[in-house]
C-alpha cells in the first residue's frame, strides 16, 4: 500500500466532518449562539463525572484565571508545576497571584508532594496540580496537604479529560477541576474549557461574570478551524505519506528552524501584561453542540489508548535507559500520548526519523527557567531535566497498533535490544 515507506503521523486532531460543516450551517441558519446547548453540555458533563455542576469557559486558561481571581487575595502565592503551558503562568499573574514554581517528579512529570509541603506557607492562596500527559499527579497526597493548611486545590486536568484516580474522575478530587475542550485535546470544540467545583457559590460567581461577556466571535474560531483544516489535510495519510512527512523529516534531520517551528505548539512564551481581548468571552452553543456530540465517546477512546499505552509499556519497560510514566492499579489514565524520557532525546529522535518513524519531543518548557518569568525564578532541577528529555509516543485512536510495534522495534534497536 504505502510505496513511500512513510509512517503514520505523530499526531492527529480529534475532528469529524461535523466539526467543519456545522460551523457554516450554524452561521447560515443564524443559530451559532442560539439554543441551550451550553447548559446541556454542562449538565451532561456533571452527570458523567459525578459532580453537582459544571461551567463552560472560552479556554481552560481563562477558567484558571477566573477561578483564581475568586479564590485568592491579590499577592498570594500559587503553588504550581513549572512544567506546563506558559500561558497558564500568565493567567496566575493576571489574576494577581504570585506563581511559586514547585519541582516535579521525573516519572509522572507532575508536582512532587514533598516539594509542595516545603513551599506551603501562610501566604499560599492556592495549589494548582496539573495532570500532564493524561497521567495523574499524586492528587490525594496533595489534597491531604491542602486540607491540613486549609488551602484550595485546583486540578488542571486539561490533558486528562476522563481519567480517574481511585475510581474518581481527575478534576473532581480537589476543590476545583478544569478541563480543556481545545483543538489538541480529546474533546475538540476548537476552543473551550469546563470548570467543575465543590463550591456552587464559586461557580455562581463565574456564571455571573461570564454573563457580562460577549460570545466568542466566529472569526476567532474560524482562524483556529482553518489551522485545524490545514493540520487535518497535512496529516491525512494520502498527503502525509508522500509529502508532509518528508518535508518535516528533512527539516528535523537538518535542523532547519523555520520548518521545525511549524510543528511546535508552545511558541508563545511572553509575559502578558494584560488579558488578550479574545480571552474573556463566552463559550458558544455551536461549540457546546460539538463537545456534546463527543462526550459519549471518551470512555471508549480512553480504553483504546490505554491498550496502546500498555503495548509500549510492555515492550519498553525492559530498557533501563528509558523513563516510563508510572502506572497505578486503582487508576485509569487517558494517555493522549505515551510520554517517555531519555537523556539524549535529540539523538533518539533523529534515529527514529532516520528509521522512517514520526515521533516528536514534548515542546513544553520548564517555565521556572524562562526569561519572561524570571521574577518568579526558582531552581527546579527535575523540571529542567525533564523538559529536555520527554518524547511523545503516539497513542491517538486512529494510530494503528502495527505502527506502535514499529516504533517499539526501532527504539529497541537504538538501545541494542
Ligand X SMILES: *Cc1c(COP(=O)(O)O)cnc(C)c1O
CA distance 63 to 178: 7
Query: Has 385 been annotated as catalytic?
Result: no
Pick one of 71, 158, 368, 408: the residue that binds ligand X (CB under 6 A).
158
Q: Is 130 in the site for ligand X (CB under 6 A)?
A: yes
Q: Is 336 in the site for ligand X (CB under 6 A)?
A: no
Q: Which is nearer to ligand X, 77 or 180 (CB)?
A: 180
Q: Is 365 in the site for ligand X (CB under 6 A)?
A: no
Q: Is 60 in the site for ligand X (CB under 6 A)?
A: yes
Q: Which of 91, 99, 104, 39 is nearest to 65 (CA)?
A: 91
Q: Is 156 in the site for ligand X (CB under 6 A)?
A: yes
Q: Given the rule CB under 6 A, which of 14-22, 59-67, 355-363, 370-378 is the region that contacts ligand X?
A: 59-67
SS3 category, 224: helix
Identify residues 22-41 at the interface with ligand X (CB under 6 A): none
Q: Is 70 in the site for ligand X (CB under 6 A)?
A: no
Q: Is 383 in the site for ligand X (CB under 6 A)?
A: no
CA distance 404 to 273: 43
Pairing of strands 124-130, 77-80: parallel
Pick one of 59, 142, 337, 404: the residue that binds ligand X (CB under 6 A).
59
* Nearest distance in Å: CB 60, ligand X: 3
SS3 category, 67: helix
* Nearest distance in Å: CB 196, ligand X: 15
Cβ neighbours around 94 below 10 Å, total: 21
* Catalytically annotated residue among 185, 308, 332, 365: 185
CA distance 326 to 324: 6
Pick one of 102, 180, 188, 386: the residue that binds ligand X (CB under 6 A).
180
Cell for 379? 531552581
Q: Tell me the three-class secondary structure of 110-168, residue by residue.
A: CECHHHHHHHCCCCEEEEEEECHHHCCCCHHHHHHHHHHHCCCEEEECCCCCCCEECCE
Q: Which is nearer to ligand X, 15 or 244 (CB)?
A: 15
Cell for 309? 499505552
Q: Is 159 in the site for ligand X (CB under 6 A)?
A: yes
Pattern 181-200, binding to ligand X, x per CB under 6 A? Answer: -x----------x-------
Position of cell 467543519? 20
8 Å CB contact between 53 and 46: yes
Q: Is 137 in the site for ligand X (CB under 6 A)?
A: no
Pick one of 76, 84, 108, 407: the residue that binds ligand X (CB under 6 A).
84
Which active-site residues does the annotation give? 185
Interacting residue ranges for ligand X, rule: CB under 6 A: 59-61, 84-85, 88, 130, 132, 156, 158-159, 180, 182, 193
Amino acid at each position: 500500500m504505502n510505496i513511500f515507506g512513510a509512517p503514520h503521523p505523530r499526531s492527529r486532531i480529534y475532528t469529524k466532518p461535523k466539526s467543519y460543516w456545522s460551523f457554516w450551517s450554524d452561521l447560515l441558519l443564524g443559530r451559532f449562539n442560539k439554543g441551550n446547548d451550553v447548559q446541556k453540555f454542562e449538565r451532561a458533563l456533571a452527570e458523567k463525572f459525578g459532580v453537582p455542576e459544571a461551567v463552560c469557559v472560552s479556554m481552560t486558561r481563562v477558567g484558571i484565571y477566573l477561578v483564581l481571581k475568586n479564590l485568592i487575595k491579590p499577592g498570594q502565592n500559587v503553588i504550581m508545576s513549572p512544567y506546563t503551558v506558559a500561558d497558564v503562568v500568565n493567567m496566575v499573574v493576571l489574576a494577581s497571584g504570585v506563581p511559586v514554581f514547585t519541582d516535579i517528579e521525573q516519572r509522572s512529570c507532575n508536582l512532587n508532594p514533598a516539594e509542595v509541603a516545603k513551599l506551603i506557607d501562610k501566604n499560599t492562596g492556592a495549589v494548582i496540580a496539573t495532570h500532564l500527559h493524561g497521567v495523574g499527579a499524586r492528587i490525594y497526597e496533595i489534597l491531604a496537604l491542602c486540607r491540613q493548611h486549609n488551602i484550595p486545590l485546583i486540578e488542571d486536568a486539561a490533558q486528562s479529560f476522563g481519567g480517574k484516580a481511585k475510581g474518581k474522575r481527575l478534576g473532581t478530587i480537589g476543590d476545583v477541576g478544569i478541563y480543556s475542550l481545545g483543538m489538541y485535546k480529546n474533546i475538540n470544540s476548537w476552543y473551550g474549557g469546563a470548570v467543575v467545583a465543590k463550591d456552587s457559590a464559586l461557580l455562581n460567581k463565574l456564571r455571573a461574570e461570564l454573563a457580562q461577556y460577549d460570545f466568542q466571535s466566529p472569526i476567532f474560531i474560524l482562524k483556529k478551524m482553518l489551522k485545524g483544516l490545514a493540520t487535518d489535510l497535512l496529516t491525512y495519510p494520502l498527503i502525509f505519506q508522500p509529502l508532509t512527512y518528508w518535508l518535516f523529516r528533512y527539516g528535523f534531520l537538518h535542523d532547519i528552524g523555520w520548518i521545525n517551528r511549524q510543528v511546535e505548539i508552545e511558541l508563545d512564551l511572553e509575559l502578558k501584561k494584560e488579558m488578550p481581548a479574545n480571552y474573556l468571552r463566552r463559550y458558544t452553543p455551536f461549540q457546546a453542540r460539538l463537545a456534546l456530540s463527543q462526550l459519549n465517546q471518551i470512555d471508549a477512546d480512553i480504553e483504546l489508548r490505554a491498550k496502546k499505552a500498555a503495548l509500549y509499556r510492555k515492550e519498553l519497560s525492559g530498557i533501563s535507559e528509558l523513563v516510563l510514566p508510572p502506572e497505578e492499579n486503582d487508576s485509569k489514565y487517558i494517555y493522549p500520548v505515551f510520554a517517555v524520557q531519555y537523556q539524549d532525546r535529540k539523538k533518539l529522535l533523529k534515529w527514529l526519523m532516520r528509521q522512517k518513524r514520526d515521533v516528536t519531543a514534548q515542546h513544553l518548557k520548564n517555565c521556572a527557567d524562562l526569561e519572561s518569568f524570571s521574577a518568579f525564578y526558582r531552581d527546579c532541577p527535575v523540571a529542567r531535566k525533564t523538559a529536555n528529555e520527554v518524547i511523545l509516543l503516539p497513542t491517538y485512536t486512529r494510530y494503528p497498533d502495527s505502527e506502535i510495534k514499529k516504533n517499539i522495534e526501532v527504539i529497541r534497536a537504538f538501545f541494542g535490544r
